[in-house]
Amino acid sequence: MFAHGGLFHILFNMWGLYLFGQLVERALGPRRFLNLYLCSGLLGGLAWMAANWSGEFYAKCLLNNGYITRMLGPVTANELGAILREADLTVYSVTGGVVGASGAVFGVMVAAAMTFPNVQMALLFPPVVMKLRTMVICYAVIEVWQSFDQSSSVAHLAHLGGALGGFLYMRRLSQGGSRGLWPSLTAWLGRLRRRWRARGFKVIPGGASGVGDSSVPYSAAAVDRVLDKLSREGYGALNDEEQEILRAASEQLKNRRSR
């Protein structure tokens, strides 16, 4: 995931990471963004390895490059794949693995589309402006189509696996919400802030019962600071004390609504 096959390979990946990553990182915070990136990259690599473990994919790449045919004469991909299996060679032992951050970048693209689906993006080739959600769907369809191209040496299945990883990670964060993570989060923060200021109460550590490790209640200013930081940097930026303040405020609001 951190190694690449050439200068243009890493340049295109880093350009995509910059373009989409800045949107997602602002929404999730640094810690969750890193989790998203790593999970997408790992799932992309696992998807490619699972589909190509026999080495037949690499055999087709060799045939496409003409190296094997010049050395052995006419041979089909299936025959070469059988030779690799007979020699007990896996794709890892033949190729040394698949390289590139494309799977992780595709996961970030999907996360950006789920978080900001209506943002307008301009393609380089062709120069067309479209919604981010539409663009990512088009890219995914192209990747599915190209994954059936036996002459391609691009790990399209790694791209699709990374996209799936990004989708699953964001799905888990949003808990199945249809509005996307960031709009739901900002709306929830707004509701919590309005109710907090309207009721004018203090949050006691330990929940509604008032039983906790500390006898000092959290002030309204402390909760406001936590809400501001959460809105600005994401949940991953909160420390343990700030997470406890947020949890206690949310729990007490919930208990008051149920009375």
pLDDT tens-digit readout, 38-83: 999 989 888 877 776 655 555 555 555 555 556 555 555 566 556 5
Domain that holds residue 155: 7-53+90-174
Supply the DSSP string of 215-249, one letter for each residue.
SSPBPHHHHHHHHHHHHHH-GGG--HHHHHHHHHH
Query: What's the pTM value of the predicted model, to 2 decimals?
Result: 0.53
What six digits make up the tokens of 258?
């149920």
Whether 127 and 165 share a structural domain: yes
Domain-terminating residue out of 153, 174, 195: 174
Count of domains observed in the chain: 2
Q: Is residue 74 part of a domain?
A: no
Whether 17 and 107 share a structural domain: yes
Whether 236 and 136 share a structural domain: no
Q: Is residue 101 part of a domain?
A: yes
Mean pLDDT on 224-242: 75
Domain-terminating residue out of 174, 197, 215: 174
Which position has the token pair 């919930």? 254
Q: Is residue 80 part of a domain?
A: no
pLDDT band of 178, cuts 50, 70, 90: very low
Contact call for residues 180 and 115 (beta carbons, < 8 A):
yes
pLDDT band of 24, cuts 50, 70, 90: very high
pLDDT band of 177, cuts 50, 70, 90: very low
Domain-terminating residue out of 142, 174, 206: 174
pLDDT band of 17, cuts 50, 70, 90: very high
User: 133: which residues sit within 8 A by CB, 6+ positions away?
Assistant: 113, 114, 117, 118
Mean pLDDT on 211-223: 57
Evaluate if residue 184 carries a pLDDT over 80. no
Q: Is residue 78 part of a domain?
A: no
